[in-house]
Amino acid sequence: MANELFSFFIGTYADAIYALDGSLQSDTLPSTPTANPSYLALDTERQFLYAANELEAGTVSAFRVKSDNTLELLNSVSSMGAYPCHLFLGKGPLAGRLFATNYGSGNLAAYHIKDDGSLEEAFQTVQLQGSGPNKERQEGPHAHSIWASPDMQYLYLCNLGTDEIVCFAAKPTAQGIKLEEKHKIKVLPGSGPRHGVFSAEGSFFYVINEMGNTIDAFRYKPDDGSLTPLQQIDALPKGTSDETRAKSTGAAIKLSGDGNYLYASIRIEGEEGLLVCCTVDTNTGMLSRPQWTKSHGQGPRDICLSPNNALLYAAQQYSDTIAIFDRDITSGTLSYSHDISVPKPVCMVF
């Protein structure tokens, strides 16, 4: 294992945010109580952390990060919907804004961040409409996540309930910005787009589909924010049985720092999950040579790479562990090292 040490924060379904230092030991994890902090966003200076409190009457909480990695609550505001599950913290032209998606009510909310790191009440909400072919999972809109293009000109919302990626332009106003819908990009019916990631240089966007267990690749056009479909690949190994497919759901998707490898996690109900690694052609955006690794736990809801890209962490929601893998930077291959105990981990941020 690489010997560089990193500290990071862990969101959980255990009503607490945990801080883990670089020793990778879980004997005495500092924790901060807060209800269902299922997704976190940390500013680049590591001064402030924001949590989506995934409740029926959802809230978003702001914290100051203290020198010992404990958190001081600044304030909590309404998420303007039910069961918020994702946050995006703006940079560049979107600096000083936070965006939240509410899965249960199918809408998004946008916030101004005050100088002291606390949140104002939402300055805009957008309600999504529609449904999908799966009447159990897609009876209405489900805003699962929101991501910005690297130039911060457009925001892309993954709507699991309607099999759409909704593009919003961030239009300047006298008060700041206003989100205006520009495009709806359809994916295969019943796929359920969940999370996405842009390539570092901004040419390509990748989406993992929760219900379809597939990954879609798109070319990003900065002139108008449109996404052109390039490819769809199966995130499950060839020969996977129909029974296993039926109880599998895609979860997280990340790119290595050099952009050469894409990683995604697959949850398999009642079984050990999977991590898939694909080689990325950085010129064309196409994915190839998938390789699979057991996740060493059940329910790998989130994955992340260490800042030096030498480690990959997988948060195993149903095993109460975070599995740590050594990563070969040249080949992208993962090798399991060990795991640490964390109750119901579902999100990690450095």
Rounded distance between C-alpha atoms, residue 280 and residue 10, angstroms:
28
DSSP symbol at 260: S
How many Å separate Cα 338 from the centre of its chain? Answer: 23
Sign for the CA dihedral angle at 178, 125, 106, 140 comes to negative
Is 325 in contact with 289 (CB distance < 8 Å)? no
- What is the pLDDT at residue 160? 98
Radius of gyration of the chain (CA): 19
- The per-type count for the chain, helices as H runs and strands as E runs, is 1, 28
Q: Which two tokens stand for residue 310?
A: 């030498």
**pLDDT 10s digits, 45-89:** 999 999 999 999 999 999 999 988 889 999 999 999 999 999 999
| pTM for this predicted structure | 0.96
Q: Shortest CA distance to 313 belongs to which of 297, 329, 331?
A: 297
- What is the pLDDT at residue 5? 55
Rounded distance between C-alpha atoms, residue 177 and residue 172, angstroms:
4
DSSP symbol at 33: E
Rounded distance between C-alpha atoms, residue 240 and residue 246, angstroms:
10
How many Å separate Cα 251 from the centre of its chain? Answer: 8
Low-confidence stretches of the chain (pLDDT < 50) are 1-3
Look-up: residue for tokens 């479909």?
229
Rounded distance between C-alpha atoms, residue 112 and residue 122, angstroms:
7
Q: Which two tokens stand for residue 162?
A: 């309607």
- What is the pLDDT at residue 2? 45
- What is the pLDDT at residue 222? 96
Rounded distance between C-alpha atoms, residue 20 and residue 307, angstroms:
14
Rounded distance between C-alpha atoms, residue 321 and residue 281, angstroms:
33
3-state secondary structure (DSSP) of residue 29: coil
Phi, psi of 190 (to 5 degrees): 85, 5
One DSSP character per residue, 158-227 reads EETTTTEEEEEEEEEETTEEEEEEEEEEE-STT--EEEEEE-TTSSEEEEEETTTTEEEEEEEETTTTEE
- What is the pLDDT at residue 69? 86
3-state secondary structure (DSSP) of residue 7: coil
Rounded distance between C-alpha atoms, residue 160 and residue 265, angstroms:
17
Other CB atoms within 10 A of residue 116 CB: 10
- What is the pLDDT at residue 1? 43
Cα distances (angstroms) measured from residue 80 to each of 96, 100, 160: 19, 9, 19
Is 90 in contact with 96 (CB distance < 8 Å)? yes
3-state secondary structure (DSSP) of residue 246: helix
How many Å separate Cα 145 from the centre of its chain? Answer: 7
**pLDDT 10s digits, 200-257:** 999 999 999 999 999 999 999 999 999 999 999 999 999 999 999 999 999 999 999 9
* Contacts of 334 by beta carbon, 8 Å cutoff, 6+ apart: 275, 277, 293, 312, 325, 326, 327, 328
Residues 274, 279, 282, 287, Cα dihedral to 10° = -70
